[in-house]
Structure 1
Amino acid sequence: MSCSRPSFLPFNVLSSSAHRAAMATLLLSCPLAAQAQDNAAQSDTIVVTATALKVAAPLAETPRSVSSVSREALDKRNVQSLDESFRYRSGVLSGHYGADNNTNWFKVRGFDQATYLDGLRLYRTGYYQWLPETYGLERVEVFKGPASILYGEAPSGGIVNAVSKRPTEEAQGEIEIQVGNREHRQFAFDTSGPATESGDIRYRMVGLYKERDGDLDGTYNKRYYFAPSLEWDISDDTQLTVLASFQKDDGVPVNPFKLAYGTVQDTPFGKVDPETNYGAPDYDKDEHTQTAIGYEFKHQLDDTWKFEQDLRYSKLDLDLRSTYMDFATGDGRTAYRGHLQRNGEIDSFTVDNRMVGKWYTERTENTLLVGVDYQDLSLDGKEFDDFTYDIVDIFDPDTSITPVPDSALTGRKIDKQQLGLYVQDQLRIDDSWVLLGAVRYDNADVRSESKRYDVVVDETQSAVSWSGGVMYLGDNGLNPYLSYTESFQPVAQLSATGAGFDDIEGEQWELGTKYAPTGWDGYVTAAVFDIKESNSFATTAGGYQTQEGERTATGFEIEGVGYLTQSLQLTAAYTYTDARDKNDNRAALIPRHMASAWLDYDFTGSTLNGLNVGAGIRHVGESVDGSITVPDYTVADAMASYAFDNNWTAQVNVNNLTDKEYVASCDFWCYYGESRSVIGSLSYQW
């Protein structure tokens, strides 16, 4: 038997303190009789995560589909926004709405997803969007498919979990400056280490200032970010980690909405320039401030049981004025513009309590998780919507607009409380079989009040979610598995007529395998999946959201990350997704085929010591929107970095290397893909 089988996750993604915790967890996962002989033989490539099961476990031995992107990979590709993270992973579509500067957009296996930070939900209601700063993250993970069993309400696509940087046991730091096209400017710092001589208290401070123009004329964003954290080993059995962050964004929003007419369809006047802005940059604004503070508490009660509690309070303030293209007037030259405003705040409180028990017999090890979580969301604001505010020339737009008086804004409130109870048991037999079963009960009370429609909707929705899985652990590192998961999502928003929406439910069957053989620094995973969602949302001909019954997605994914030689690493992924609406027609936005590959070569030990180069290619197949077909596209990315010594490193990243012009997708509106991005970085590390 072996308990040191390498995980299929990317390598060396853990900080020193996290690596120590991972090793401890790994030891607990081995039969007790074998621990002594294995203590000195743990592999440095073992990486564990708690996203899939809420208990630390090697994902190569978990019968659920999760992909992870490490800090090293985020740095190498100079990821600027959360939705760039998974460009070289399977099952995740991003960039389909172009280069938006105030929202992160994902589709996972053909469906929407929920965003989490450090395992706790980030509330994204309407235009109130929480934007995690990628420089402050240690890694990003995606749980693919329904995930209500551990995380409560969740869309059918799954969850994206951003993991914050944590204090480190060893003193370290970085100062970085960046410049690039589109007036990109950035200054960032990251310092961490022990705060006491004994090292029982550790700190980390991460900060950033960034400004950059958007892809559309007259748009931009400025960001201030600061994230302090503190980790305290209260005793050998007790640890407290405090995490806080402050972020302020100020700019003019990018509204990439364009018509099919002039993008994927020809006109007598030619095509619309991708940089054309139908907004009002002298009037539009996006002032966005988000603040959070919370903690993670862990206490080992005895040799069997451990108590864990995660808690966070967050506040988001938004003042948004946004003008956008709506629909054509019919004269072949002009179109209506819509205008919206949001001015309000979201207060949210989330707490998750868990008891984790581990015990062993001669042939088995058992991990029992029992938890209760509570989520409280309150939105209080004012809003304005006019879908035919004025008329604009499609090919030569006038970007001025008549201001909206404050008296035209109407009140809007949402209050939501959700209580969840869950139980999960993972049984490992003979170091060869993993059996997983879980059940969860959710009760959500949603009250939505709109002064605009003079309506109050107060509903209580509840659901029971089930999950199960089985995996065989092969001696050769090949681990096939079968799993079933469900999701439940209460909907707080109102329809265009002021009515409430039904809750959305999803279920998934998945059959796959994970391959992470001993002695190879890499992994390969493959899976087929089948997802069904009830009460799905769709965009109507008027641009409104409505529920239109069942939606399905079936598909196949394969991805791998590994070293082909000591210097050459390959990251590759392929996704096939057949997403269909209630009428069995292809769903809008979702391509059937996506493929990507990234090669990275490290010249360490050669005459070019210090040089690292990488290049990638991303292909997205054609998609549809009713009778409209959006052509496929392929773009290339590249990077080169040079370490002058142990402290100084220079790097250049280019995305969309050839500055290819393409339409990324259509869903009533059509969206040009992001233009070429060139960013140079210089960092000093110690």
Structure 2
Amino acid sequence: MKSKQRIFARSLLAIAVLGAYTHSFAADDTGAQNAGTAELETVNVVGSINKLSGVPFRQAKSAVAVSAETLSEEGVEKMDEVGRYQAGFTNQPYGSDTNTNWFRIRGTEASQSFDGAPAVSYGFFTPHIDPFAVETVEITKGADSLTYGAANAGGLVNYISKRPHKNQVGKGVVEAHIGNNNQRGIAADYTGALNADQSLRYRLVGSYKRADGDWDRTYNESYYFAPSLAYDFSERTRINLLASVQKDNGTPSSNFLPQSGTLVATPLGTIARSSNLGDPSQDDEKNIARSVGYEFSHDFGKGISFSQNYRYQNISNYHRGTYAYPAASDANWNPLPLSESGYEVPRGVVFNDGKVRSHSIDNRLRWQFKNSSIENTLLGGVDYRHEKIDALYTLYGSASNVNVFNPAASYGTAQTINAPETGIKSKQLGFYLQNSMKLFNRVGITAGIRHDRARSEEVENGQSVKANHTSYSGSLMYYAPFGLNP
């Protein structure tokens, strides 16, 4: 849904709720007055992809962190809009989609992760996270094999979920919105303490939203709930317990339009922008994503610390989407002008029905040293991930032709879907060592090495692939006093 066309208005009920909660959510009157400018406490987030815990812009790679406040200010309603003001991003390359996030970084696919744990990316099991669920989105542009080993060349996108910060105890927010295209939603976020010294804290985040898609009879309805619990064993030892469940359902917009009738007019004119050449009477999408995990950290003193994060993901997805081919064709699939085909184009059906389960754990030991001339961080770690996919999946189901100027005439016609069973098991064990040094506050030197042992097996045909690979990284940066860092 295009944000510039969005009509955003709070309902009377939302205003009443906000008014009722204003006093209880503010820590005190001063806090309420300064809520708009309050800053979060500085927290070492274990689930960050920046494992060295350095400032991203001091690294010799393009990295940025986008806060929840920025996402709200930019009107991000869907995560494939997150790079709207980032160089090198292509947002929604296939147009607006009701159920899938699509973006490119520097022209190629990017890998996604949650709280520092790689997300599953296969078919329609890709992440579809609610922007209200995150407090920061970390973006690394370009190839980065040291963080997770296997990764797409476009870069890394890491979603850091909301968790109970100590300076947010007693505070929260309730939001409600309505808009065009039947858009409506409500969301709530509250942080509280379970003991007097606030060492045991909780946070509850939930949202509901529904909106029609850009094409006729498409929509998405989403429910999200994420409880979290934090406990400070001491000033040096902390743990965060994180869980979430998100349910999405609706009619998907697997909508592609031919060149003739869009970029090039036909004798009958152009195809309406809202025309759905799929089959909304049969197209369907149901997705449930569940996750649970923890983040643990301990400071041994003298610059030595240990951290560990674990995440389990379980995703069930049913997707059936009818799509039109980009041109009319004859019986031998030779392209034809639309006028010669009776303004009909062939269609296919993409189908997915299955489940994916994944485990991911990362252990790292860090030593930080600093004197008047040198600031150094040495990091060593071991990570492991295991994924299992069981699904019926095909891109090539068949459906009847569709008239681009009367698509509704083909809705409900018979379709043929022969989706083969897909079973994939994959494992990856990685060992990494990284060092970051800053000399005389002017020169930055980084070096890293990582070795991965990976195996992937396709259950149905018994094929198995093993790979052992070592990756290297190094950089030299000069911090000029006028702000330019070559």
- Matching residue's letter, 1:220: Y
**Quick one: structure 1 residues 256 and 404, their matched pair in 2 at CA, closer, same or farther if it must change by over 3 Å?**
closer
Match of 2:214 in 1: 215
- Equivalent of 1:94, from 85, 91, 95? 91
Match of 1:290 in 2: 289
- Matching residue's letter, 1:116: S
- Cα distance between partner residues in 1 of 2:286 and 2:50: 37
- Matching residue's letter, 2:110: Q
SS of equivalent residue, structure 1 residue 480: coil
* Residue pair 1:341, 1:384 contacting (<8 A) in 2 also: yes
* Residue pair 1:420, 1:443 contacting (<8 A) in 2 also: yes
Match of 1:423 in 2: 433
Displacement after TM superposition at 1:228 (Å): 0.7
- Cα distance between partner residues in 1 of 2:38 and 2:393: 43
Q: TM-score when scaled to structure 1?
A: 0.61
- Equivalent of 1:375, from 369, 381, 385? 385
Match of 2:268 in 1: 269
- Cα distance between partner residues in 2 of 1:386 and 1:62: 44
* Residue pair 1:217, 1:276 contacting (<8 A) in 2 also: yes
**Quick one: structure 1 residues 49 and 349, their matched pair in 2 at CA, closer, same or farther if it must change by over 3 Å?**
closer
- Cα distance between partner residues in 1 of 2:38 and 2:243: 21
- Cα distance between partner residues in 2 of 1:180 and 1:69: 25
> Where in structure 1 are there 5+ consecutive unaligned residues?
1-10, 23-47, 482-686
Q: For residues 280-359 of structure 1, what are the structure 2 equivalents within 5 Å?
A: 280-327=279-326, 328-329=328-329, 330=336, 331-332=340-341, 333-359=343-369
- Cα distance between partner residues in 2 of 1:53 and 1:287: 34
- Cα distance between partner residues in 2 of 1:120 and 1:306: 20
Q: For residues 52-67 of structure 1, what are the structure 2 equivalents within 5 Å?
A: 53-67=50-64
* Residue pair 1:337, 1:389 contacting (<8 A) in 2 also: yes
- Cα distance between partner residues in 2 of 1:52 and 1:164: 13
**Quick one: structure 1 residues 293 and 50, their matched pair in 2 at CA, closer, same or farther if it must change by over 3 Å?**
closer
- Equivalent of 2:117, from 117, 120, 123? 120
- Cα distance between partner residues in 2 of 1:13 and 1:427: 32
**Quick one: structure 1 residues 231 and 70, their matched pair in 2 at CA, closer, same or farther if it must change by over 3 Å?**
same
Structure 1 residue 473 corresponds to structure 2 residue 472 = no
- Matching residue's letter, 1:360: K
How many residues align structurally?
437
- Cα distance between partner residues in 1 of 2:144 and 2:410: 43
Structure 1 residue 460 corresponds to structure 2 residue 466 = yes
- Cα distance between partner residues in 2 of 1:270 and 1:166: 53
**Quick one: structure 1 residues 240 and 96, their matched pair in 2 at CA, closer, same or farther if it must change by over 3 Å?**
same
Displacement after TM superposition at 1:15 (Å): 2.7
Q: For residues 154-173 of structure 1, what are the structure 2 equivalents within 5 Å?
A: 154-169=151-166, 170-173=169-172
- Cα distance between partner residues in 2 of 1:472 and 1:387: 56
Match of 2:412 in 1: 401
Displacement after TM superposition at 1:449 (Å): 4.1
SS of equivalent residue, structure 1 residue 342: strand
Structure 1 residue 446 corresponds to structure 2 residue 456 = yes
- Cα distance between partner residues in 2 of 1:479 and 1:436: 18
Match of 2:179 in 1: 180
- Cα distance between partner residues in 2 of 1:14 and 1:313: 31
SS of equivalent residue, structure 1 residue 458: strand
Match of 1:543 in 2: none
* Residue pair 1:49, 1:57 contacting (<8 A) in 2 also: no
- Matching residue's letter, 2:404: I
- Cα distance between partner residues in 1 of 2:382 and 2:411: 52
> Where in structure 2 are there 5+ consecutive unaligned residues?
1-35, 330-335
Match of 2:251 in 1: 252
* Residue pair 2:57, 2:63 contacting (<8 A) in 1 also: no
- Cα distance between partner residues in 2 of 1:53 and 1:75: 24
Displacement after TM superposition at 1:141 (Å): 2.0
- Cα distance between partner residues in 2 of 1:385 and 1:52: 33
- Matching residue's letter, 2:378: L
- Cα distance between partner residues in 1 of 2:324 and 2:462: 30
1:251-289, Cα deviation, whole Å (9 max, x unpaired): 000112112222222322222112111111111100000
| Greater shift in the superposed pair: 50-59 or 186-195 | 50-59
- Cα distance between partner residues in 2 of 1:380 and 1:460: 20
- Cα distance between partner residues in 2 of 1:147 and 1:97: 25
- Matching residue's letter, 1:242: L
- Cα distance between partner residues in 2 of 1:437 and 1:224: 43
SS of equivalent residue, structure 1 residue 60: helix
- Cα distance between partner residues in 2 of 1:59 and 1:459: 35
- Cα distance between partner residues in 2 of 1:346 and 1:403: 29
- Cα distance between partner residues in 1 of 2:298 and 2:415: 54
Match of 1:15 in 2: 40
1:183-240, Cα deviation, whole Å (9 max, x unpaired): 0010110001322111101111000111110001010111110011111101121100
* Residue pair 2:377, 2:435 contacting (<8 A) in 1 also: yes
1:518-555, Cα deviation, whole Å (9 max, x unpaired): xxxxxxxxxxxxxxxxxxxxxxxxxxxxxxxxxxxxxx
- Cα distance between partner residues in 1 of 2:274 and 2:372: 66
- Matching residue's letter, 2:431: L
* Residue pair 1:352, 1:374 contacting (<8 A) in 2 also: yes
